[in-house]
Amino acid sequence: MSIGSTTGIDILGMTADVLVELQNNLGKSLKVNEPLSRHTNFKIGGPAKYFFTAKTTEELVHAIQVADELKLPLLILGGGSNVLVSDNGFAGLAVMVKNGKYSIKGQVVTAEAGVSLGFLVQKVAAAGLTGFEPLVAVPGTVGGAIFGNAGIPQVAKGFIGDWVKEVVVCRGDTIVHVPGEQCGFGYRTSIFKQSGNDIILSAVFALEPGDKVKSQELIKKYIAVRKTQPYHLPSSGCIFTNLPVTDPSELRQKFPGQPRLEEFLKRGQLPSSWLIDQAGLKGKTMGQIQVSEQHANYLVNLGSGRAEEVIMLISYIKQQVRDKFGIQLQEEVRYIGF
């Protein structure tokens, strides 16, 4: 790959030489000033200065190298289901990961980062393997799921990281195979999220032999649970992480007579949705963004919502929960372009 000078004439915020180099390297499908609202589940986000869809692993690695050589800020997007993109957009190269190959051999499943997670769950179950069913309704890609160790905390081995044998990443100009036990998976976290240095290219999983009929029953169950969540409206899923229980007696004092508290203490996690509900914030609206009436940890876009309104509502919720209960909420959603 040969990349030339990065200086040039600035036309409408674009440096002509950079654009030419990007087009030469990434081809005609490179888009300029592409609205990211088209690529996020929230339907929010200003334009990416440059936007490229990587349909193969080779294209993905090449795009990473090009951004590096042109010293362009790089944004990796999977399904865009856990991000809040600024109304001003992203001043660099946004790469949407769409490499989509997968294979199932015995109990070993290999999937590229751009494979849709829900699709993979169905294929794995149809192959007679079990373990992935709790992930069926998690939107987005395999790469995005590994980045944040997606899953549900209510069931044993309910996170994607519980099934990972190996993750293949692009780290600088090297391809690295990271064994599962070195991925640092925890609740909504991984070394990939912590370091921010790795682009996930693919992953290998070890599932368990199962029963196709039982897997389909489980899948139906996990999809049915989601009927209580606002899947019909644009959102980025849960805005805040659940909180670890550190002092049960303090919580019993703060929330006397609350019927569900003991269940949460047993689970070791206090759901943020419950706290936001306790603070009386269900239905609270700022502009076109609303705390969902169905599930208080979802902020939903009622139509033409803006990132600015999401930020104001997040800040209001955090302040209310802090003032009422002395508890600090932490965002799960990833901020981009702020």
Ligand X SMILES: Cc1cc2nc3c(=O)[nH]c(=O)nc-3n(C[C@H](O)[C@H](O)[C@H](O)COP(=O)(O)OP(=O)(O)OC[C@H]3O[C@@H](n4cnc5c(N)ncnc54)[C@H](O)[C@@H]3O)c2cc1C
Q: Do 282 and 293 form a contact (C-beta atoms < 8 A)? A: yes
Residues 6+ apart with CB under 8 A from 166: 177, 178, 179, 180, 203, 204
User: Which CA distances in Å does 88 have to 31, 42, 73, 337?
Assistant: 17, 15, 15, 7
Report in angstroms how near the CB of residue 113 gets to ligand X at its nearest: 4
Q: Do 203 and 164 form a contact (C-beta atoms < 8 A)? A: yes
Report in angstroms how near the CB of residue 94 gets to ligand X at its nearest: 10
Report in angstroms how near the CB of residue 59 gets to ligand X at its nearest: 13
Identity of the residue, 97 or 313, whose beta carbon is nearer to ligand X in the bound complex: 97
Identity of the residue, 140 or 305, whose beta carbon is nearer to ligand X in the bound complex: 140
The Cα 69–Cα 5 span in angstroms is: 10
Identity of the residue, 15 or 45, whose beta carbon is nearer to ligand X in the bound complex: 45
Task: Give the torsion through C-alpha atoms of 88, 89, 92, 93, to 10 deg.
Answer: -170
- Which sequence positions are flagged as catalytic? 188, 238, 332
User: Which CA distances in Å does 107 have to 191, 202, 204, 241, 266?
Assistant: 25, 17, 10, 32, 33
Identity of the residue, 191 or 327, whose beta carbon is nearer to ligand X in the bound complex: 191
DSSP label of 303: S
| Site for ligand X, rule CB under 6 A | 41, 76-83, 97, 113, 138-141, 143-145, 147-148, 150-152, 192, 199-200, 231, 235-237, 334
Where b means 16+ CB within 10 Å and e means fewer, 125-153 reads bebebbbbbbbbbbbbbbbbbbbbbbbee
Report in angstroms how near the CB of residue 11 gets to ligand X at its nearest: 28
Identity of the residue, 131 or 237, whose beta carbon is nearer to ligand X in the bound complex: 237
Report in angstroms how near the CB of residue 169 gets to ligand X at its nearest: 7
